[in-house]
Amino acid sequence: MSNLAVENNQSAIMNTYSRFPVKLVKGKGSYVWDDKGNTFLDYTSGIATCNLGHVPEQVQSKLKEQLDLLWHCSNLYGIPNQEKLAELLTTNSTFDQVFFCNSGAEANEAAIKLAKKYAKDQGNPERTEIVTFKNSFHGRTGITMAATAQEKIHQGFTPLTQGFRYLSLNDYHALSEIDNGKTTAVLLEMVQGEGGVLPADKNWMKELEKVCKENDILLMIDEVQTGMGRTGSLFAYEQYGIEADVMTLAKGLGSGVPIGAMLANNKAGASFQPGTHGSTFGGNPLAASAGIATMESLLKEDFLTEVKAKSSWFYDELTKLQQDFQVVEEVRGLGFLVGIQLSEKAGPWIKQFREKGILVLAAGANVLRVLPPLTTTKEELKQFVNTFHELLTETEEITS
């Protein structure tokens, strides 16, 4: 740390986050504790990452076992844990092959590279564009930032990487603009999480799938936030009755241990061969062990059935609050990826929730993003609903 930083009492951490005034030091289940001993019900789940709650025993046990064996080697060698995790993912999805990396942005970069290579391999070098959708979020690397159709993400970083075209989600007219002779792939989220918790329409998705299949355009699903049980099914695309060519995962895949994955069917996956892509840390023995334990937990009998039941009850209770309080304009999302549209800024509400011992996030200026762990209990959900009711009542009394 420089002398100037010491004098000004500045952190050595680069100033890339507007951090909340809380320092978290411990977590277990649905709860976290700060350095002052305060307890919070964590309904951020590390931004949809700690889907099994904090420090889940099954993942913890697997990691401890692996710590005594091997942490890292290289993808130049076979990694049994990686192979097992890949089998779990492909057996329980419509995909055939997996590429492991470290994050959602890396998974999306891999998908983007694969789409470009696929076009060349199919003898279509003129197909250089990928369609994404307004309000999307695909990452903050140079390429995934360009794929993200949000102006606020682009500010200060122009000129952007070329090759992306932005259309409107759920717009039937936009479907006629997908194939312009240059499109090699479409990349989208089943629910736009950061962009406002905006679900794709099921009928529209079926039409998009049809357009892609008819024109040999890869349909690529970004399930970084919606995957791993978050929406009530293992992957959100299952609720849409579609078969994509590529899917990306991260966040909940490792229960907090950094890992990402790009899955592809054989048709698309064939375009990656030795030398076309790689990752030093991707799917190493330690990260893959966390992924195995996470997948095995999600696949336990009745686990996802319970998630659907609890999240359905939660939506019903939140809808009742919408009916009773004008400030709540809409409740939307899938499973435990919940967006609460407010008639005012979300920031002050996040602060009020925190002061009541509950952590939530924003998704845009006026949307509260609520991400309970999938293991949350009915009692914890009631705690959130009762606290929200209390805050709504207090606000109504102040403004009346």
- The predicted-structure confidence for 162-205, as pLDDT tens digits, reads as follows 999 999 999 999 999 999 999 999 999 999 999 999 999 999 99
Q: What is the pLDDT of residue 1?
A: 40
The reply to whether 203 and 290 lie within a common domain is: yes
> What is the reported pTM?
0.95
Among the listed residues 237, 228, 335, 247, the one whose alpha carbon sits nearest the alpha carbon of residue 291 = 228
Task: Give CA–CA dist 365/343, Å, rounded.
Answer: 10
DSSP conformational letter for 304: H
- The predicted-structure confidence for 282-319, as pLDDT tens digits, reads as follows 999 999 999 999 999 999 999 999 999 999 999 999 99
More confident: 400 or 346: 346
Residue 29 lies in a domain: no
Number of structural domains the chain divides into: 2
Residue identified by tokens 């089943």 is 190
Residue where a domain stops, chosen among 298, 328, 347: 298
- Residue 77, phi then psi, degrees to nearest 5: -120, 160
Residue where a domain stops, chosen among 271, 298, 325: 298
State the Cα angle at 347 between 195 and 53, rounded to 5°: 70
Q: Where are the alpha helices (DSSP H) in 102-247?
A: 104-121, 142-147, 151-154, 172-175, 202-214
Mean pLDDT of the chain: 96
The reply to whether 241 and 362 lie within a common domain is: no
Domain that holds residue 100: 57-298
Residues 6+ apart with CB under 8 A from 337: 48, 191, 193, 197, 225, 226, 230, 231, 369, 371
262: domain CATH number is 3.40.640.10
The reply to whether 95 and 182 lie within a common domain is: yes
Residue 182 lies in a domain: yes
Q: What is the pLDDT of residue 400?
A: 56
